[in-house]
Chains A and B, each alone.
Chain A
Amino acid sequence: MISRTVTVASSVGLHARPAALLAEAVDESGVDVVISFDGEEADGASLLEIMTLGVKHGDEVTLSTEDDNAGAVLDSLVELLSRDLDKE
Chain B
Amino acid sequence: MSAEHRILHGIGVSAGTACAPAAIVQAAPGVDTSEPASTDPAADGQRVRAALAAVSVGLKERAANAPAESRPILEATAKLAADRGLAKAVDKKLKKGLGVTAAVHAAVEEYAEMLKALGGYMAERATDLYDVRDRVTCELLGVPAPGVPQVDGPVILVARDLAPAETATLDPEVVLGIITEVGGPTSHTAILAAQLGIPAVVKATGILEVDNGDILALDGGVGEVIVSPSDEEVELLDERSRRRAKALAGSSGEGATYDGYKVKLLANIGTVDDAARAAVVDLEGAGLFRTEFLFLDRADAPSLEEQTQTYTKVLESFGERRVVVRTLDAGADKPLSFADLGEEENPALGRRGLRLCQVREDLIDTQLAALAAAHARTKTDLWVMVPMVSTMEETKWFADKARAAGLPKVGIMIEVPAAAIRAHQLLDIVDFASIGTNDLTQYTMAADRMDGELAPLLNPWQPAVLQMIKLACLGGRSTGKPIGVCGEAGGDPLLALVLTGLGVASLSMAPSKVNAVRAALRMHDLATCQQMAAYAVDAPTAEQGRENVLKLVSPAMLALV
Q: Contact at B85–A54, with CB atoms within 8 Å?
A: no
The A-contacting residues of B in range 70-116, CB under 8 angstroms, are 76, 79-80, 83-86, 88, 111, 114-115
Known A-B contacts A15-B121, A15-B122; the reply to A46 vs B115 at CB < 8 A is no
Q: Contact at A45–B84, with CB atoms within 8 Å?
A: yes
Q: Contact at A52–B111, with CB atoms within 8 Å?
A: yes
- Output the least CB separation between A32 and chain B (Å): 10
Q: Contact at A20–B118, with CB atoms within 8 Å?
A: no
A70 within 8 A of B: no
State the majority secondary structure of interface residues on B: helix
Tell which of B84, B125, B299 touches A51, judged by Cβ atoms closer than 8 Å. Answer: B125
Tell which of B79, B86, B129 touches A20, judged by Cβ atoms closer than 8 Å. Answer: B79
Q: Contact at B118–A48, with CB atoms within 8 Å?
A: no
Known A-B contacts A16-B121, A52-B115; the reply to A47 vs B299 at CB < 8 A is no
Chain B, interface residues (CB within 8 Å), range: 10 to 19
Known A-B contacts A16-B299, A52-B111, A52-B115; the reply to A47 vs B121 at CB < 8 A is no
A23 to B84, CA, bound (A): 10
A59 within 8 A of B: no
Chain A, interface residues (CB within 8 Å), range: 10 to 19
- Output the least CB separation between A84 and chain B (Å): 16
How many inter-chain contacts with C-beta < 8 Å in the A-B complex? 44
- Output the least CB separation between A1 and chain B (Å): 20
A85 to B258, CA, bound (A): 64
The B-contacting residues of A in range 26-62, CB under 8 angstroms, are 42-43, 45-49, 51-52, 54
Closest chain A residue to B85 by CB distance? A46
Chain A residues, CB < 8 A from B85: 42-43, 46-49
Q: Contact at A54–B118, with CB atoms within 8 Å?
A: yes
Chain B residues, CB < 8 A from A42: 85
The A-contacting residues of B in range 486-503, CB under 8 angstroms, are none
Q: Contact at B121–A52, with CB atoms within 8 Å?
A: no
A23 to B86, CA, bound (A): 13
Q: Contact at A47–B83, with CB atoms within 8 Å?
A: yes
- Output the least CB separation between B318 and chain A (Å): 36
- Output the least CB separation between A34 and chain B (Å): 12
Chain A residues, CB < 8 A from B76: 20
Closest chain B residue to A19 by CB distance? B122
A14 to B80, CA, bound (A): 16
Chain B residues, CB < 8 A from A49: 84-85
Chain B residues, CB < 8 A from A48: 80, 83, 85-86, 111, 129
Q: Contact at B299–A43, with CB atoms within 8 Å?
A: no
Q: Contact at B122–A43, with CB atoms within 8 Å?
A: no
A48 to B125, CA, bound (A): 10
Interface core residue of B84, B114, B125, B129 (most chain A CB under 10 Å): B84
Chain B residues, CB < 8 A from A47: 79-80, 83, 85
Q: Contact at A51–B79, with CB atoms within 8 Å?
A: no
Interface core residue of A12, A49, A54 (most chain B CB under 10 Å): A49
A12 to B88, CA, bound (A): 27
- Output the least CB separation between A70 and chain B (Å): 18
Q: Would you give the 0/1 interface string for A1-30, flagging 1 where the beta carbon is closer than 8 Å to chain B?
A: 000000000001001100010010000000
**What would 5 more interface pairs be, CB under 8 Å, given A48-B129, A52-B114?**
A16-B122, A20-B76, A43-B85, A48-B83, A49-B85
For this complex, 5 residue pairs linking A to B, each with C-beta atoms less than 8 Å apart, are A15-B118, A46-B83, A46-B88, A47-B85, A52-B114
